[in-house]
Structure 1
Amino acid sequence: MTSRRRPVRALIPLFLLALLAACSGGAGGNSSSDGTPDPDGTLIWGWHLPTSWDPVASTAGQDVHALALAYDALVQQENDGDARPGLAESWSYNDTGDQITFTLRPDLTFSDGTPVDAEAVRANIERGQTQSNSTIAAQLAVITGVTVVDELNVTFQLDQPDYQIPLLMAGKTGMLVSPTAFAADVDGLAIAPVGSGPFVLTEYVPDSRAVFERNADYWNAENILLGGVELKPPPDPTVAVAGLTSGQFDIAVVPPAQVAAAEAAQLTVEEQRVFTVRTLDVNNTVAPYDNPLVLQALSHAIDRQALVDVAYFGHGEPNWQPFPEGYLAYDESLDDLYAYDPDTAADLLTEAGHPDGIDLTLTIGSAADQALAEQIQAQVAEAGITITIEVATPGVSNYISRQYPLFLDSFSGRESPLQALEVLFGPEGLMNLGRNSPPELDAAIDAARQVPLDDPAYAETLQTAVHTAVTTMPNTFLFTWPRLYVHGDNVHDWQHQIGTVRFEGVWVE
């Protein structure tokens, strides 16, 4: 077999939600100014480089958007949250819901020439389950066996009826990597992805940029109107608008503080409501966070609306749960669960054995969260909670080390709402720092799994699981916030998805 893998220059060992756009005008790179797509045009995208280019080993939820440049998943996700064909053109369950068979598109290959077939699916699932540093093993635990029926059909045996599998396979859990590549050099995937996605990596400079060219062999290549994508870390907030107007970036995510400046520069601002929610990760096996009264006091001491108004310039909505209003899993009974009330917070601290207040340490991942942390610090002081802010050691993942028991974080959601609950609250969940969950939560999640997605009872069963999770687990949710994209008038038809960023139909002049 002739290899078609492109060379990579790696320098130094990446529901219906509101789809609203605002403003127009601006500048940017790659512009031919004639209003037609440039088939060789490269979109310079300001987004986060992934923690690893191996979807099995990556540790951040936001990695999925970068990984989707190089990889395609078995299933894709519609803008309303439903599942649609990806590498698999169809799927079907057996009568009892404990087996699902995927039928692959014919004649597909990875960028190194390896066939995308049923055997490749089996190898990927088994690697995800068994690789020592896998971050998707917990999500794949429901699969007890994989049977290669023939070249294009593969069946998953499940340990129980589970109708979430198509949604699960729409995220990085379902992204397929060339078995030839991971058999030869699994560690090399961290800097050199080998997938079957819309683009192929041709150059990678860690912490600097990743350059992709269009994959002519991609199954949906006719709808990829870009010649390539250059991925760069988001610009520093203080120079974001300047970087966009000068053409250093064609499109980038900017913080809320920069929206007014972007509008003044006549750049297009697209406010895209997604799953992202700010949260406090809590390890409930460490004192004093093992006392639910302390956590309730902390939650009552936080004015969520003020956080949105000040730290996020009004872009966002107070929230007490991991899903935004309007999404199927959203449980409206949780609204205002812990209303802002410093007096109630102080009373709860007294009941918890801290009548004179309590000292806590809040860890942040970077200086970018300093202002938000300081606002929380000032708010909770009124209830007798004294917070010391510290910055995490660079390079340390708290999801793995769990050394910081109170951590200011963001959760960017998952394609499957039950997978999201597992990441946040499951006994192996990365954001469940205590690595524990009560039996009633496990039972509620299992019950929701066994309801088909088109069953009228699905929404209620799902919301019951969300309610159980939020009221029994220590994570403290603060507010949902939109993703704010800014671009010049050379970028057209930017897609608004609730899940993974995709590039079908996007073009540059």
Structure 2
Amino acid sequence: MKMFRTMAAAVALLLSFCAGAQAQTTLRIGLAEDPDILDPSLARTYVGRIVFSAVCDKLFDIDDKLNIVPQLALSYDISTDGKEVTIKLRPNVKFHDGEPFDAEAAKFSLERHLNFPGSFRKPELASVDHVEVVDPLTIKLVLKSPFSPLIAQLTDRAGMMVAPKAAKEAGDKFGLHPVCAGPYKFVERVQQDRIVFEKFADYWNKDNIFIDRIIYLPIVDSTVRLANLKSGGLDLIERVLATDIKDVRADPKLELSTAVELGYQGITINIGKDKAKGPLSQSAKVRQALDLAIDREALNQVVFNGEFIPGNQWINPDHPYYQKAFPVRARDIEKAKALLKEAGIAGPVNVDFMVPKGPEFEAAAQVVQSMAAEAGFDMRIRVTELATSLKQAEAGEYQAYFLRWSGRIDPDGNSYIFQHANAPQNYSDWRNPEADKALEDARLVTNMAQRKSIYEKLTKIEMEDEPILYLFHYRILIAHTTRLEGYTPMPDGLVRVVGLKLK
């Protein structure tokens, strides 16, 4: 009898263990690239922002209608003169290491974004003169001048809060083991293989976290990524190819979510750096000729099955700040050739065309190459790994660069950092005092009609000088298994994990 009871107890223990094992859920997300460093001050890749959504909460977030909503902050108030922003913080929040999130911690994070060597958040928060602690759950941002995009900036990496103690101890190695206040905490990372997170038991919104573990798997080949989703090896994949839409929709085990992106795809032209010497850098007429050689609608049809949105500005045609006075121009080969002749170009214009590795990038680049050839351009495609291409863009080691920008909710986030003379991502090294003034003026006003009028001036200047040829806007395509419940497509393309369930 005693042996029977012992065996029964062992069986009960085993069944209990199995039930517990079955209850553990893991969400496997396929990424199109391996993110760069997981430090919100130093990171700059789109795919990294997808990962950050699970680990680093921000002061504010956006909803699917682009409304700004509370996250680690509960509310904000802007002074009458626009130079003080008071932010109330959420109580009872902890970082992954147990350190409390409070006003001192928020002040530390914002100052780190502003002052840490190499921080890409510094220009996003450049209007902030200093941060004051008002009380344990209130901070005040004192600005050098009014800055209308500030709260929008705090919905992204500039608003991500990091654990002060962990950040101080790790220094520039913080991204190897990020410690934030998000729903999941870091477990491990194997470069080019996987990034693993597990549920944070003390998360402030833990009642809406239903999945125990998330594994991000970088799979560059989109065909392999989709095959893994179909076979059950992945639960969700980002950046489905437009040519695979029918295939995904035909599979009863899969669902497709779509949203028009906030950003753009365009060709950045290196104008000012010595390494870019050539007709493109020296003449606006040559850049205009290249623009006129490209048929944006044909590019959309040939490469993307007509699923994307042709464009010619840093925001899409449905955006409230889009300048309708400057519509997408039709292709005009004869005018393009005439402009080259006016610029004194006799033979083919040879262009070093840097293109990030990826099937859609490369296919679109080949179509652009073919179209441009008819006008007299020899676009010499140089396929380059994404992170490497960004470094080469910074160094000016290219003439034309096929760059995708994932976009921000405020138009300033799509323009200033690329167009202003002193901005860190002004890869073209374009310097135009009139454009700089327009960019600066747009930051000082909150009235939409006034801002739109300022951006109209900027659009005219940019279209005449053409440091960037804006071509089209992606439709964000995310596919996931029907087992996944609660997913909402977002215009920034980031996967919010709060509320997700696996059946």
TM-score, with structure 1 as normaliser: 0.87
- The partner residue of 2:365 within 373, 378, 390 is 373
The answer as to whether partners of 2:262 and 2:316 remain within 8 angstroms in 1 is yes
The answer as to whether partners of 2:421 and 2:436 remain within 8 angstroms in 1 is no
Relative to structure 1, the CA distance from residue 395 to residue 170 in structure 2 (aligned partners, 3 Å threshold; closer, same or farther) is closer
Shift of 1:105: 0.8
Aligned residue in 1 for 2:410: 416
- The partner residue of 2:246 within 242, 260, 270 is 260
Pair 1:432 & 2:426 matched: yes
Pair 1:72 & 2:34 matched: no
Separation in 2, partners of 1:82, 1:147 = 27
The answer as to whether partners of 2:408 and 2:414 remain within 8 angstroms in 1 is yes
Aligned residue in 1 for 2:178: 193
Query: 5+ unaligned residues in a row in structure 2: which ranges?
Result: 1-21
User: Cα deviation per residue 1:11-49 (whole Å; 9 max; x = unaligned)?
Assistant: xxxxxxxxxxxxxxxxxxxxxxxxxxx974222111244
Aligned residue in 1 for 2:99: 114
The answer as to whether partners of 1:70 and 1:196 remain within 8 angstroms in 2 is yes
Separation in 2, partners of 1:101, 1:292 = 45
Aligned residue in 2 for 1:349: 340
> Which structure has more RCO (C-alpha within 8 Å, separation ≥ 6)?
1
User: Cα deviation per residue 1:149-180 (whole Å; 9 max; x = unaligned)?
Assistant: 22111111111111221111101111111111
Aligned residue in 1 for 2:473: 480
The answer as to whether partners of 1:301 and 1:383 remain within 8 angstroms in 2 is yes
Q: Which amino acid aligns with 1:485?
A: I
Shift of 1:457: 4.2
The answer as to whether partners of 1:252 and 1:486 remain within 8 angstroms in 2 is yes
Separation in 1, partners of 2:304, 2:342 = 34
The answer as to whether partners of 2:123 and 2:424 remain within 8 angstroms in 1 is no
Separation in 1, partners of 2:182, 2:23 = 18
SS at match of 1:333: coil
Shift of 1:127: 1.8
Separation in 2, partners of 1:327, 1:278 = 15
The answer as to whether partners of 1:108 and 1:115 remain within 8 angstroms in 2 is yes
User: Cα deviation per residue 1:316-365 (whole Å; 9 max; x = unaligned)?
Assistant: 021101111222222222212x4211111111111111033322121112
- The partner residue of 1:141 within 126, 134, 142 is 126
The answer as to whether partners of 1:111 and 1:194 remain within 8 angstroms in 2 is yes
Aligned residue in 1 for 2:355: 364
Shift of 1:367: 5.1
Query: Number of residues paired by the alignment?
Result: 470
Backbone CA RMSD of aligned residues: 2.1
Relative to structure 1, the CA distance from residue 90 to residue 395 in structure 2 (aligned partners, 3 Å threshold; closer, same or farther) is closer
Aligned residue in 2 for 1:383: 375
Sequence identity, in percent? 27
Separation in 2, partners of 1:461, 1:216 = 48
The answer as to whether partners of 1:69 and 1:197 remain within 8 angstroms in 2 is yes
Pair 1:244 & 2:235 matched: no
SS at match of 2:247: helix
Query: 5+ unaligned residues in a row in structure 1: which ranges?
Result: 1-37
The answer as to whether partners of 2:94 and 2:181 remain within 8 angstroms in 1 is yes
Aligned residue in 2 for 1:46: 30
Runs of 4 or more above 6 Å deviation: none
Separation in 2, partners of 1:177, 1:469 = 37
The answer as to whether partners of 1:62 and 1:412 remain within 8 angstroms in 2 is no
Separation in 1, partners of 2:442, 2:119 = 25
Range with greater deviation from structure 2 (458-467 or 296-305): 458-467
The answer as to whether partners of 1:138 and 1:428 remain within 8 angstroms in 2 is no
TM-score, with structure 2 as normaliser: 0.88
- The partner residue of 1:403 within 382, 393, 397 is 397
Query: Superposed, which structure 2 residues align to 1:299-378 within 5 Å?
Result: 299-336=291-328, 338-366=329-357, 368=359, 369-378=361-370
SS at match of 1:389: strand
The answer as to whether partners of 1:200 and 1:215 remain within 8 angstroms in 2 is yes
Relative to structure 1, the CA distance from residue 258 to residue 291 in structure 2 (aligned partners, 3 Å threshold; closer, same or farther) is same
The answer as to whether partners of 1:278 and 1:477 remain within 8 angstroms in 2 is yes
SS at match of 1:334: coil
Aligned residue in 2 for 1:127: 112
Shift of 1:263: 2.7
Separation in 2, partners of 1:467, 1:457 = 16
Aligned residue in 2 for 1:498: 491
Relative to structure 1, the CA distance from residue 295 to residue 472 in structure 2 (aligned partners, 3 Å threshold; closer, same or farther) is closer
Pair 1:283 & 2:276 matched: no
User: Cα deviation per residue 1:115-164 (whole Å; 9 max; x = unaligned)?
Assistant: 21222222222222222221121112111111112211111111111122
Shift of 1:196: 0.3
Separation in 2, partners of 1:395, 1:449 = 30
Aligned residue in 2 for 1:55: 40
Range with greater deviation from structure 2 (239-248 or 377-386): 239-248
Separation in 1, partners of 2:192, 2:214 = 16
Q: Which amino acid aligns with 2:243?
A: A
Query: Superposed, which structure 2 residues align to 1:7-22 within 5 Å?
Result: none
Q: Which amino acid aligns with 2:472?
A: F
Shift of 1:444: 1.8
